Amino acid sequence: MRKVSILIALMLMAPVVAQARTDGALRPSQATRQGQPSSTTASISLNAETIELTLSDAIYLGLRDNRAIRSAYLDRIAQKFDLRVAEDRFTPKLVLSGGYLSSRNQDDRYRESTVTPTTTLLTPYGTRVSLGWTYRHTQADQAGLSRNDGANISLIQPLLRGAGKDIATAPVRLARLSEQANRLNLKSTVSQTITQVIASYRTLLQAQEQLKISRESLQRARQLLEVNRAMIAAGRMAEFEIVQTEAEVASQELAYEEARNQTDTARLALLQLLALNLNTPIVATEALQARRVDVNAAEALRQAEALQPAWLSQLIYSEQATINLAVARNDRLWDVSLVGGASQIRDRNTLSGSARTWENYVGIQVEIPIGDLSTRQAEVQAQVNVRNQEIQLAEARQQLERDVANAVRDIGTRWRQYEIAQRALDLSRRKLEIEREKLTVGRSSNFQVLSFENDLRNAENARLNALISYLNAQAELDQTLGTTLESWDISLND
């Protein structure tokens, strides 16, 4: 009971990495969602000490505790600060410096203190402005007290290299594009985790259903064994024919043990994905039902182009490569800049009095690199990167079209397979019922009944596998279109 109490408290905690949206709008790809998501509190059977977990419960627990998602959110802390640093590029920077120095020579002894605040500013057009003020206080044993202070301002305006708003703001634009890519990566991580949780949950559900099928098959085999014994006692069956049924019972017991093992394996896999204690006795309780979903291929492709994280990230990488090429080409230009500045200094001395001087200047400075291949190297690398991004963009476009086409076709195929499997199951049940009736009147054999029992078991498993495959195909479609979060009404807390 202690484990159950711990899990109750754990599940009552509010999710911290995702928030459910309340608009309730049905998206075209909202195939994985069966009804409204339940609350994050799972139902608990106290008698069996098991936790009944729905698919919605598993998803919200995964959003809160999954280690991959938690790690992705930790990475976002550093990524957001990187953007903040880049956007701080055009804000004034202030540096305060000071010092104290004691010295002596053959004539005198000096004690000097200095304070120098300096501020610098870079504008979005590449202009660099610097403003500073210096105060120096000197006390000498023989020369007495002297003080010196002054202010200076300087301005540099690039005309070629580093000039223009496009070049000066390139680092900020690159950082913002990186932030967009990082947000898309977070969305991709969360979507992939949700898809993994869905697949793992349904694997557990499938294992539980297969255990149920194995249990029912074992019960039918034992019932047939009792019928055989009654027929032998009545003299209507040879005693040696019961061996076939006894062998079938042993085979079904073996299959039942294997099904139990597969159920435990699937349960542990889901618990690890949800970052829960591996001893937690969870049971998947989602109803295994499906409805047909018709998806238009052209509409699905348009939706994927607007929402698919991998495709949108590739567009961002191509834009970044173009900006880097423009910066590399600009770096090859001569450094021609207009320069100007002014300064004023005031000296005060106990022996010579005070004096004031000033100076201003304006001009042009030129720096011409000769024989430096590094700038050409950077441009060549940027050009190659742009061409590579064009190739990768074409590849990503074709891959997107292929993935969407496969996902749309797959969901249609899985539905048809499910319908066929359902029809085959109904026929197998009817076939076995008829054969059992024939056995009771002596018009069939144990071998035929056991053969039809095997057919029914295979039909039940085929129907289950087809249903799980169809439901997983819906989740894969959402993943391909980039609509997983929208289908489950999840917004990123970012």
pLDDT at 9: 34
pLDDT at 94: 93
Q: Which of 412, 395, 404 lies closest to 481, judged by CA?
A: 404
Residue 40, pLDDT > 60, answer no
Q: Are 479 and 195 in contact (CB under 8 A)?
A: yes
Lowest-confidence pick of 46-50, 78-82, 311-315, 481-485: 46-50
Query: Bigger pLDDT: 106 or 459?
Result: 459
**pLDDT, mean over the chain:** 86
Q: Which of 410, 402, 419, 407 lies closest to 479, judged by CA?
A: 407
Query: Bigger pLDDT: 234 or 10?
Result: 234
Query: Bigger pLDDT: 200 or 141?
Result: 200
- Which span out of 93-102, 186-195, 214-223, 353-362 was modeled with the highest average pLDDT? 186-195
Mean pLDDT of 430-454: 85
pLDDT at 327: 95
How far, in Å, CA of 86 to CA of 171, rounded? 7
pLDDT at 378: 92
pLDDT at 448: 86
Beta pairing class for 109-122 and 353-367? unpaired
Report how far apart, in Å, the C-alpha atoms of 441 and of each of 227, 236, 237, 433, 445 are: 12, 10, 11, 13, 10
Q: Are 151 and 132 in contact (CB under 8 A)?
A: yes
Mean pLDDT of 87-101: 92
- 3-state secondary structure labels for all residues of 350-400: CCCEEEEEEEEEEEEEEECCCCCCHHHHHHHHHHHHHHHHHHHHHHHHHHH
Instruction: Give the burial string for 421-442 (b: 16+ CB within 10 Å, else e).
Output: bbebbeebeeebeebbeebeee
Mean pLDDT of 72-79: 95
CA angle 464, 470, 476 (to 5 degrees): 135
Residue 464, pLDDT > 80, answer yes
pLDDT at 17: 36
Which residues does 189 contact at the CB level (< 8 Å), separation at least 6? Answer: 68, 69, 72
Residue 473, pLDDT > 90, answer yes
How far, in Å, CA of 221 to CA of 88, rounded? 76
Residue type, 491: S
Residue 63, pLDDT > 80, answer yes
Q: Please, what's the largest Cα pairwise distance for the chain?
A: 140
Residue 1, pLDDT > 80, answer no
* CATH topology (fold) of 60-89+158-333+368-485: Outer membrane efflux proteins (OEP) (1.20.1600)
**153 band by pLDDT with thresholds 50, 70 and 90:** very high
pTM given for the model: 0.82
Q: Tokens for 53, please give them.
A: 């977990």
**337 band by pLDDT with thresholds 50, 70 and 90:** very high
